[in-house]
Amino acid sequence: MGCSIWRTRFNLGLLKAQSRVSVFFTMIIIFTYFFYCLTGYCDSLPRPLYDQQIFTGTSIKHDGQDASPQHGRQPSASADRNRTAPGSGTRELPDSIRLHSILQQIGHVQRQISDGDREDADSTLSVFNSFGSKKFPQAIIIGVKKGGTRALLEFLRIHPDVRAVGAEPHFFDRFYDKGLEWYRNLMPRTLEGQITMEKTPSYFVTKEAPRRVYAMNRDTKLIVVVRDPVTRAVSDYTQTLSKNPGLPSFHSLAFKNASTGLVDTAWSAVRIGIYAKHLENWLRYFPLSRFLFVSGERLVSDPAGEMGRVQDFLGLKRVVTDKHFYFNQTKGFPCLKKPEGSSRPRCLGKSKGRPHPHISPEVLRRLRDFYRPFNLKFYQMTSQDFGWD
Ligand SMILES: Nc1ncnc2c1ncn2[C@@H]1O[C@H](COP(=O)(O)OS(=O)(=O)O)[C@@H](OP(=O)(O)O)[C@H]1O
């Protein structure tokens, strides 16, 4: 009897000692792990896109509003490593900064999700999503500036089989020297059967863009959203004016000489609207069947109809239909009932669909006369009448 009491006490004592030892060892393992993390040996998280951009000296903003790299700066060898192997170059960052940055990213994403800011959150979240792979875009919205390209991309993003990069990459015009892997790394991950897309409206008027896109993939589908070149020019001018209120008047920029009424084609707001000329450049590399021309006007008056054509062209099931849109009277534009990643209705931002300054009817008439032959040529080339005349 006495013996068994002593044996029980001895066993209990042994158990307590064992649990203390295991707690002690667990603590040692945890501290060792943290110590190794802080000294940089447990790099398993991929580097956020945000950091990659900082460390390659690139900042990308939406709608091409000055997506400027450090001009003239050659990409460094370490930047090259970042490009080709996401997550493999993380050791170049001091760990405290990386940890801080990851925590910032998580906080940022949480804020974006709670604000319903899907566009930014989407590109950041893709960093944490390790499913699928990053592919070159199979379809690109190449133009035109102020045509309605943002609206089209946002409407397409509702489709479950479309994954698009929110910011304008400007790869084929500004950042081509960064290399194709840099470009591919900007893309969101896609699963089998999903299409990768991007939009950069300046590609349409960039001389080198057709050759470069062709070199990436000759089967790339090209979407051009076109809008009456006169209203497009006014829209373009409105955007520049909003950034630079001291800008000269529209008519002084549009004409070389006010009395002769000679249109100044050197002004980009005018030049972009000569669609036939820019299209000729693209047709040297791509057959017409590779293009879809979307009417910027119909994208506003009948978004579902235009989206039907776009989905057919992309070989997608017609998922985006009229039940996704409602007309917002205050904004004066169609808006989305349920944008992807949000349960709230959403219109495009303030810089889309803003009021234009008054331009005299005489100035508009002269511009309309100027564009007429180019428009007719464009209708012939595309076999589509956009009804601008
Ligand atoms: N649904 C909807 N909501 C708001 N705006 C819409 C929409 N659909 C087309 N648009 C027209 O898009 C014009 C801006 O074109 P982009 O997005 O191509 O501009 S940009 O080149 O990316 O800056 C923008 O031009 P402005 O009206 O001059 O602001 C709009 O007319």
Rounded distance between C-alpha atoms, residue 294 and residue 148, angstroms: 9
Active site annotation includes 146: yes
**Domain-embedded: residue 318:** yes
Ligand 1 binding pocket includes 149 (Cβ within 6 Å): yes
Cα of 176 vs centre of ligand 1, distance in Å, is: 26
**Domain-embedded: residue 125:** no
Q: Whose CA is nearest to atom 10 of ligand 1?
A: 148
Q: Whose CA is nearest to atom 1 of ligand 1?
A: 334
Ligand 1 binding pocket includes 147 (Cβ within 6 Å): yes
- H or E stretch including 115? helix 95-115
Range of the domain at 311: 133-382
Ligand 1 binding pocket includes 61 (Cβ within 6 Å): no
Ligand 1 binding pocket includes 146 (Cβ within 6 Å): yes
**Domain-embedded: residue 349:** yes
The response to whether 355 counts as a known ligand-binding position is: yes
* Catalytic residue selected from 134, 145, 146, 178: 146
Ligand 1 binding pocket includes 307 (Cβ within 6 Å): no
Q: State the ipTM, two decimals.
A: 0.99
**Domain-embedded: residue 10:** no
Which of 144, 146, 302, 324 is the best mutation target for the ligand 1 pocket, counting ligand atoms within 8 Å of the beta carbon and taking the most?
146
Q: What tokens appear for 60 in the block?
A: 């990308």
Query: What Rg value do the Cα atoms of the chain yield, rounded?
Result: 28
Cα of 148 vs centre of ligand 1, distance in Å, is: 4
Task: Count structural domains, the chain.
Answer: 1
Distances in whole angstroms, Cα of residue 32 to Cα of each of 42, 90, 93, 103: 11, 21, 21, 21
Rounded distance between C-alpha atoms, residue 100 and residue 330, angstroms: 42
Q: What tokens appear for 197 in the block?
A: 């897309």
The response to whether 123 counts as a known ligand-binding position is: no
pLDDT in tens, the chain (389 residues): 344 444 545 454 544 556 666 666 667 666 555 544 443 333 333 333 333 332 223 333 344 333 333 333 333 333 333 333 333 322 333 344 344 434 444 443 443 333 333 443 444 444 445 689 999 999 999 999 999 999 999 999 999 999 999 999 999 999 999 999 999 999 999 999 999 999 999 999 999 999 999 999 999 999 999 999 999 999 999 999 999 999 999 999 999 987 788 999 999 999 999 999 999 999 999 999 999 999 999 999 999 999 999 999 999 999 999 999 999 999 999 999 977 667 789 999 999 999 999 999 999 999 999 999 999 999 999 999 999 98
Q: Whose CA is nearest to atom 28 of ligand 1?
A: 235
Distances in whole angstroms, Cα of residue 43 to Cα of each of 56, 78, 103, 339: 20, 17, 15, 35
Ligand 1 binding pocket includes 298 (Cβ within 6 Å): no
The response to whether 377 counts as a known ligand-binding position is: no
Spatial neighbors of 48 by CB under 8 A, at least 6 apart, are 101, 102, 105, 124, 127
Which residue do the tokens 């002593």 mark? 6
**Domain-embedded: residue 12:** no
**Domain-embedded: residue 39:** no
Q: Which CATH number covers residue 246?
A: 3.40.50.300
